[in-house]
Chains A and B, each alone.
Chain A
């Protein structure tokens, strides 16, 4: 099925000369032919053909192998919970991994034609093809690390997330005893109203010293200013028992640098500001008579990113690593197809006024359809057997959720001692590739016979 692509590159034109032309030039003796073929046929027979027969028979025997089990092993394919999960995941894999890889390969192949450094780009995208799935698995185990300080996927994700929704600096802060603040919509609000020319104390406790904002400085007592409301928001806690005075700014206490403070009148925010490094803040005259609120955004737990390898996302995450490995394969095959495309057709379409999208959609893609089909089917066969990535990337806790048939076969056959069921899975996998096998043979037969 792939020789259409192979002919350009491997230099193996897909049109072998007719049988008459390729008749032996040596007047072969049959023994010579047999000797040339013997090693290959023995190895193929013992290692590929024999196992097919063995698996077929074994799949109808009981787990111990000494009695006939009918279709019990095949029934297990649809009743065993582990296998059903594997089957479901395999379907997800077969639907998404090849199509996404092929689509990306197509996009990359078309776009790289337009830049001078297209070859370098192709090299970068194609490179993962050369490494083992184990190495790719380790690479992506690192990428998907849940901790945004370690896994690059979450580091980027949290970075993007936080630039839209600011994360807060004071997740655990709350009023201490005798605090003038009380809870309000996830934040806190002063019990009484504030007035210009006076200072307000907004003491909170509960932020661990190492979690204080980086720029925090020792808290300062605010100075009253005419026509302004001033005050201090700070961590009203000094280490050690009975040290420091509640509600007063003590020397060892730090200001809540960056704390957002709103002045609220009748439920409306009339003024707002952020505390300076020493915790002091100043609000304009509009705040006179308002209550001060520390809105909930100050106290949200920091966003910790996505649990890529948790039960819900583990299969898409592993598929992502597969696409990373195989999009290059699709790209290279499609690029070879593109190179062989008649340029006049594209140019003609452009002359007729088609824009680039129309050319792509109406000319390029239809002409490439055979190549796209080959790539997709190839990847489907490949994905059907996916094992290494699923074995390596998911941590033990979510491997059951990421299960696929090839992995389940390995487990049943080599750690759960259920060779009957494992053989049934093997036969099932084989049945799925048989249409492709027949297609290969039919196509080649035409060539051989020509």
Chain B
């Protein structure tokens, strides 16, 4: 209140000063505003054009692609064709790898959410010796690069028969998703009003029931952020799958990567393949922007 009262005279003096500003100053402001708009439009084009290029490239035949750039379709719209997509979807390796992407991403996301919220709840509301130290230890793992684990886990999976399996990749993603999941959910769950938990407790709810009936529903926003973030992270991963999958279990990123060495020759697979692999993440992104943004922000450390 006091600050508001304090700022009032200032605002008044501002309006008093305005009219004295010269015509030139106001003109400069106008021009400046125009320049800002032009600049932002140019930048926006810079950001859009590469993706549009990929889309249009995926809608042309390889022959057209080797003859000219994708922008030629603006003068010759007849070049547009779904031929590459049709062929791609008839390609068993690609459809299989898309399926693998789903088979890896969905369980890895669900597991991280489930295991992460159990642990998040324990760190937030249960009492056991060294609780905060354990939690800090988990937080410390947030920044461990996945590269550290590639060789050891490849060797470990080789020994126990998980190498090359979908389950192995799912477990790896779950393990590396957990520090962030625990960090995010514990902090969110800790803010749940104590009274709510106590009321449920008085009604005779046990630990599990408390978790399922009170904490999970109230933790919805954080769980959504985590889920979306983890979904995109796993869906878009190439490195982990590159190391831990073999030909039958490859996700789409790895399947496409094998074609990149002969880029020009494989453009009819790469362009539509990349675009198909982008469709789901982009749909998720546009549908859940807010949750995605909050996930990204909270996960800045990753």
- A residues engaging B (CB < 8 A)? 1-3, 5-6, 8-14, 16-17, 19, 21-26, 28, 30, 32-34, 36-37, 39-41, 43-44, 46-52, 54-55, 58, 108, 111-112, 114-115, 121, 123-135, 137-143, 145, 149-152, 155, 324, 329, 332-333, 336, 344, 347-348, 350-351, 356, 374-375, 378, 381-382, 384-385, 387-388, 391-392, 395-396, 406, 409-410, 413-414, 419, 422-423, 425-427, 429-430, 433, 436-438, 440-441, 444-445, 448-449
CB-CB < 8 A to A22: which residues of B? 124-125, 190, 194
A350 and B178 within 8 A (CB): no
A12 and B179 within 8 A (CB): no
Within 8 A of A (CB), among B156-201: 156, 171-172, 174-176, 178-179, 182, 184, 187-188, 190-191, 194, 197-198, 201
Offer 17 A-B interface pairs, CB within 8 angstroms, sorted by A: A2-B301, A5-B298, A11-B294, A26-B197, A44-B178, A47-B172, A48-B176, A52-B144, A54-B151, A130-B281, A132-B278, A142-B271, A350-B14, A378-B300, A429-B148, A437-B140, A438-B140
B254 to chain A, nearest CB (A): 9
Mask: chain B, 124-151; 1 = CB below 8 Å from A; 0 = not:
1111100010111011111111111111
| Given known A-B contacts A22-B190, A131-B281, A449-B132, A152 and B50 have beta carbons under 8 A apart | yes
B151 and A422 within 8 A (CB): yes
CB-CB < 8 A to A441: which residues of B? 136, 139-140
Which of B32-40, B74-82, B84-92 faces chain A? B32-40
Q: Is B73 an interface residue (CB 8 A)?
A: no
Within 8 A of A (CB), among B101-124: 115-116, 118-119, 121-124
| Given known A-B contacts A47-B149, A444-B139, A344 and B184 have beta carbons under 8 A apart | no
A152 and B49 within 8 A (CB): yes
| Given known A-B contacts A130-B281, A143-B53, A374 and B143 have beta carbons under 8 A apart | no
The CA-CA distance from A19 to B123 in the complex, in Å, is 11
B150 to chain A, nearest CB (A): 6
Among A12, A46, A436, which residue has its beta carbon within 8 angstroms of that of B175? A46
A150 and B301 within 8 A (CB): no
| Given known A-B contacts A21-B194, A140-B50, A142-B50, A48 and B144 have beta carbons under 8 A apart | yes
CB-CB < 8 A to A145: which residues of B? 69
The CA-CA distance from A1 to B298 in the complex, in Å, is 9
The CA-CA distance from A36 to B114 in the complex, in Å, is 10
B256 and A134 within 8 A (CB): yes
| Given known A-B contacts A6-B297, A33-B127, A37-B122, A134 and B175 have beta carbons under 8 A apart | no
A155 and B71 within 8 A (CB): yes
Among A17, A381, A388, which residue has its beta carbon within 8 angstroms of that of B238? A388
B13 and A351 within 8 A (CB): yes
Among A54, A130, A137, which residue has its beta carbon within 8 angstroms of that of B152? A54
| Given known A-B contacts A58-B152, A336-B297, A440-B139, A28 and B207 have beta carbons under 8 A apart | yes
CB-CB < 8 A to B151: which residues of A? 51, 54-55, 58, 413, 419, 422-423, 426
B126 and A429 within 8 A (CB): no
The CA-CA distance from A19 to B132 in the complex, in Å, is 10
CB-CB < 8 A to A114: which residues of B? 33, 36
- B residues engaging A (CB < 8 A)? 3, 7, 10-11, 13-14, 17, 32-33, 36-37, 39-40, 43-44, 46-51, 53-54, 57, 65-66, 68-71, 115-116, 118-119, 121-128, 132, 134-136, 138-156, 171-172, 174-176, 178-179, 182, 184, 187-188, 190-191, 194, 197-198, 201, 206-207, 210-211, 221-222, 225, 232, 235-239, 242-243, 253, 256-257, 260-261, 263, 267, 270-271, 274-275, 277-278, 281-282, 284-285, 289-290, 292-302
A37 and B147 within 8 A (CB): no
B53 and A142 within 8 A (CB): yes
Among B47, B68, B147, B242, which residue has its beta carbon within 8 angstroms of that of A128? B47
Say what secondary structure dominates the interface of chain A.
helix
A391 and B191 within 8 A (CB): no
B44 and A132 within 8 A (CB): no
A395 and B263 within 8 A (CB): yes
A43 and B126 within 8 A (CB): no
> Which single residue of chain A is at the shortest CB-CB distance from B67?
A149
A132 and B253 within 8 A (CB): yes
CB-CB < 8 A to A10: which residues of B? 184, 188, 221-222, 225, 294-295, 297-298
The CA-CA distance from A397 to B172 in the complex, in Å, is 33
CB-CB < 8 A to A155: which residues of B? 69, 71
The CA-CA distance from A360 to B182 in the complex, in Å, is 38
Given contacts A25-B197, A50-B156, A426-B151, 15 further A-B contacts (CB under 8 A): A5-B298, A6-B184, A10-B221, A25-B210, A43-B175, A108-B40, A108-B43, A132-B236, A139-B50, A142-B54, A152-B50, A324-B46, A348-B10, A392-B257, A444-B135
